[in-house]
Amino acid sequence: MGLLVHIAGIFYSVCLPLLKSSILVEWIGVFVPGSRNWFFWTCWILIGVQVAFAIAAVVALNLVCIPAEKKWKFWLSGTCINAHTIETVSASFQLFSDCIILALPQKPIWELQMGWKKKIAVSVIFSLGVL
């Protein structure tokens, strides 16, 4: 069971940043086709940060215990660090990046040439990721 939890944690640490990166790549195509403005560069910086954090999280999860098997085989000799700290840092980073990603399209949406009711509707649609 412990091995499956370890594997699930690694998959989560890889899949979530890839999912966020795919959303950002889509938004680049929607909001800045053919231009390289602040939105374009912010999205690519966030993608780079997501990928770097995914790599760091996988490395950290694999180095929580030495040897790694000690994480799911408690009777082995070895040492482990506090995994709770890694999980707290990871959750905090993901929450922070979620907030940035949700706020990112709001400025381009409010610069669109449409009525304020439509702008609110579009903002709500892009903010449905909160759910």
pLDDT at 131: 58
- The answer to whether residue 96 sits within a structural domain is yes
> CA nearest 53: which of 27, 5, 20, 83?
20
Tell me if 84 is assigned to some domain. yes
Rounded to the nearest 10°, the torsion over CA 16, 130, 27, 99 is -80
49 lies in some domain: yes
CB neighbours (10 Å) of residue 58? Answer: 15
Question: Is residue 15, in this structure, part of any structural domain at all?
Answer: yes
**Per-residue pLDDT tens for 68-101?**
888 888 888 888 888 888 889 989 999 999 999 9
- Report the phi/psi class of residue 35: left, alpha or beta, with left for phi > 0 and alpha for psi in -120 to 50: beta
Q: Determine, yes or no, domain membership for 83.
A: yes
Confidence of residue 16 (pLDDT cuts 50, 70, 90): very high
Q: What domain range includes position 13?
A: 2-103
> In which band, very low, low, confident or very high, does the pLDDT at 129 lie, cut at 50, 70 and 90?
low
Higher pLDDT, 37 or 83: 37
User: Is 112 part of a structural domain of the chain?
Assistant: no
In this predicted structure, what is the pLDDT of residue 78?
87
Residue 113 lies in a domain: no
pLDDT digits 0-9 by tens, 100-118 = 998 898 888 888 888 989 9
For the entire predicted model, the pTM comes to 0.82
Q: Please state, rounded to an integer, the average pLDDT across all residues of the chain.
A: 88
The number of domains in the chain is 1
